[in-house]
Amino acid sequence: MKAPSRTLALTEELISLSSITPDDGGCQRRIIELLEPLGFTCETVVSNGVTNLWARKGTHAPVLVFAGHTDVVPTGPAAKWTSDPFKPEIREGKLYGRGASDMKTSLAAMVVAVEEFIEANPGHKGSIAFLVTSDEEGDAVDGTAVVVEQLKEREESLDYCIVGEPTSAHILGDTIKNGRRGSLSGHLVIKGIQGHIAYPQLARNPIHQAAPALAELAAEHWDEGNEYYAPTSFQISNIKAGTGANNVIPGELCIDFNFRFSTASTADGLEARVHAILDHHNLEYDLQWTLSGRPFLTPKGTLSDAVCQAICDETGVHTELSTTGGTSDGRFIAEICPQVIEFGPPNASIHKIDEHIEVRFIDPLKNIYRRTLEKLLS
C-alpha cells in the first residue's frame, strides 16, 4: 500500500488552525515543533499583534530561505462553503479549506521537503532558513518587513529565497514569479469653489477643471517596460464630488489612482510627471502619495534555473517566468536577498468560497522544493 502523504497530513493540520489575518492561530508554533529537532534555531518576533518566525539551520553561505505566511483572508459567508472552511475535506480529488492554495500547502511542502533533504543530506553545505509571517494578507506592516529590518541590523546576508505564493496558472509548475511590479497610489483633491449651479460665474467647478488633466494622465505612455515587465499602467479607481444635490457646484473633486510600475520607471519619476501634468493645467490641488512596494526582479540565473529544472524533472512541465499579479512579501525580502523566486500551487481558487487544491499536486510540490535544495545545497 502507498504510504500516507506526510505533506497532505500537515497541510490538513495547518488548515484546521484558523488563522484569519493577522492571527497566526498556532501555525508557527507547530512549524517550530517540526524544525527544532532538525537543528533549526527558531526566533519568534511579535510586532503589534503580528507573529513572525525566523528559523535558521547552519551558519555558512549560501543561505536558502523558504518564505511564506500563515494568515489567511476571511472566509466570507461560511454558509456558502460546501464544508467548514477550517475543517479540511477531500472531495473528488481536491482538498478544500481556507488556505489550501494560499498558502498552507506550500508551507507544509516546504517543511516536509526540508525534513527529507536533511535526512538524506545531513552534511549539506550552506544554510536553510524559514521566514514566516501572519501579516501578509493584512497591512503587511508588522510582518516580513519587520523581520527583514532585524536581519539588516544583524548584517545577515541571504543568497536565495523561495516564496511559496500560489503562482501556477493551470497546472503545477507552469508559472513562477521572478519579480513583481511596484505599487504607487495617489489620493488627489482638486480644489474648486462651491456655488449655485445657476450662477457658475460665482463658482469654480473642479470637475470641469480636472477633466483635461485626467484625460492626459489616462493617455500618458509612462514607459516601454522591458524584457520581464509590461509597460507601467495607470488606473483611476475612485472619483467623488458633489453634495448629493443636483443644483450645487462641488467645492472639490477627490480622485484615487494607482500605478503598477516596472523597473523601467521609478516612484520618484512617476510622481514628478504627475505633478508636472497637474501644474500644466493650472490646477489647485493636494496630492498624497503612498508607495506600497517597489518593483523587484530576479533575472534568469542560479535560483530560477534550479527551480525551473526541478519543476521539469518532477512534472515534465516547462515553466514560464512572469512578473504579473499583485504585490507580495518578496518585495521586502529582495532588499536583502539578490535572488527571490515565488513558486507554489495553482491560484484559481485563492480567496474564493470553497478554496481548494488538487491533491495530485501536493506531493509533487514538496518534491520540487526538495529537488531545488538538492541542486543548490548538496
User: How many Cβ atoms sit within 10 Å of the Cβ of residue 140?
Assistant: 22
The single residue of 12, 23, 24, 71 carrying the catalytic annotation is: 71
Cα 215 off chain centre by: 31
Measuring CA to CA, how many Å separate 122 from each of 21, 54, 265, 377, 378?
Answer: 36, 21, 45, 11, 10
- 174: cell is 507552469
The Cα–Cα gap between 134 and 99 comes to 12
Pairing of strands 94-96, 89-91: antiparallel
- Evaluate whether 268 touches 229 at the Cβ level (below 8 Å): no
The single residue of 23, 24, 136, 342 carrying the catalytic annotation is: 136
- Evaluate whether 176 touches 365 at the Cβ level (below 8 Å): no
The Cα–Cα gap between 136 and 59 comes to 27
- 336: cell is 536583502
Is residue 155 part of the annotated active site? The answer reads: no
Pairing of strands 94-96, 179-180: unpaired
User: How many Cβ atoms sit within 10 Å of the Cβ of residue 216?
Assistant: 13
* Terminal-residue alpha carbon distance, the chain: 31
- For 192, residues 6+ apart whose C-beta sits below 8 A from its C-beta are 203, 204, 205, 206, 207, 209, 249, 250, 251, 252, 253, 284
Is residue 136 part of the annotated active site? The answer reads: yes
- Evaluate whether 137 touches 69 at the Cβ level (below 8 Å): yes
The Cα–Cα gap between 88 and 276 comes to 54
The Cα–Cα gap between 35 and 55 comes to 8
- Evaluate whether 372 touches 310 at the Cβ level (below 8 Å): yes
The Cα–Cα gap between 192 and 34 comes to 62
The Cα–Cα gap between 232 and 269 comes to 12
- Evaluate whether 206 touches 370 at the Cβ level (below 8 Å): no
Active site (catalytic) residues: 71, 136
